[in-house]
């Protein structure tokens, strides 16, 4: 239990210092996709943010950028909103949805309760700037599980 206690203590320190922390879930098998999400925005009346299928450093950076906009600048994101100034040369889209079995923000749920969590996913495009729900998207659906469709 020491590892989880240390993790929770460190997460609390980060949340106290910045207003949120980013948590990563790394695959333990080939069927699982890595994902990352914020913990702490709920306490400030913002949805937690989540993204899936990206390298750990990229996901961390993108979520921190969006969380900073929400926390520091009180920016609100809406379902279907295109964000063109997050990923150089590409758009990203925000979608709203509930936690899923594939993308459970467990630490946020444990902290605030499932019924208190609002969730917004940062969805990234392929190299042709197409999204998972668009024809011709070049990645398999399991490369970026979604909490909802647009």
Cα–Cα distance list, 54 to 96, 108, 139 (Å) = 19, 20, 12
Instruction: From 100, 81, 101, select the one nearest 91 (Cα to Cα).
Output: 81
Query: Which pLDDT does position 2 carry in this prediction?
Result: 67
Query: Which pLDDT does position 149 carry in this prediction?
Result: 83
| Predicted confidence pLDDT, tens digits, the chain (150 residues) | 568 889 999 999 999 999 999 999 998 887 689 999 999 999 999 999 999 999 999 999 999 999 999 999 999 999 999 999 999 999 999 999 999 999 999 999 999 999 999 999 999 999 999 999 999 999 998 899 999 987
Classify 136 as helix, strand or coil: coil
Q: Collect all residues with Cβ–Cβ distance below 8 Å to 115 and sequence separation of at least 6.
A: none
For residue 10, how far is the Cα from the chain centroid? Answer: 19
Query: Which pLDDT does position 113 carry in this prediction?
Result: 94
Parse the chain into domains and list their residue ranges.
Answer: 2-143
Query: Which pLDDT does position 1 carry in this prediction?
Result: 54
Query: Which pLDDT does position 27 carry in this prediction?
Result: 84
Query: Which pLDDT does position 123 carry in this prediction?
Result: 98
């Amino acid at each position: 239990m020491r590892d989880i206690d240390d993790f929770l203590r460190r997460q609390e320190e980060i949340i106290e210092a910045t207003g949120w922390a980013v948590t990563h879930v790394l695959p333990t098998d080939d069927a699982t996709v890595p994902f990352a999400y914020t913990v702490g925005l709920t306490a400030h009346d913002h949805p937690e943010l989540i993204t899936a299928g990206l390298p750990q450093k990229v996901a961390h950076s993108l979520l921190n950028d969006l969380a900073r906009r929400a926390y520091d600048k009180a920016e609100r994101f809406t379902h279907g909103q295109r964000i063109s100034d997050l990923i150089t040369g590409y758009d990203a889209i925000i979608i709203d949805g509930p936690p899923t079995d594939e993308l459970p923000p467990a630490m946020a749920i444990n902290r605030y309760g499932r019924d208190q969590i609002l969730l917004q996913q940062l969805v990234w495009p392929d190299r042709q700037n197409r999204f998972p729900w668009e024809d011709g998207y070049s990645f398999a659906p399991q490369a970026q599980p979604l909490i909802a469709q647009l």
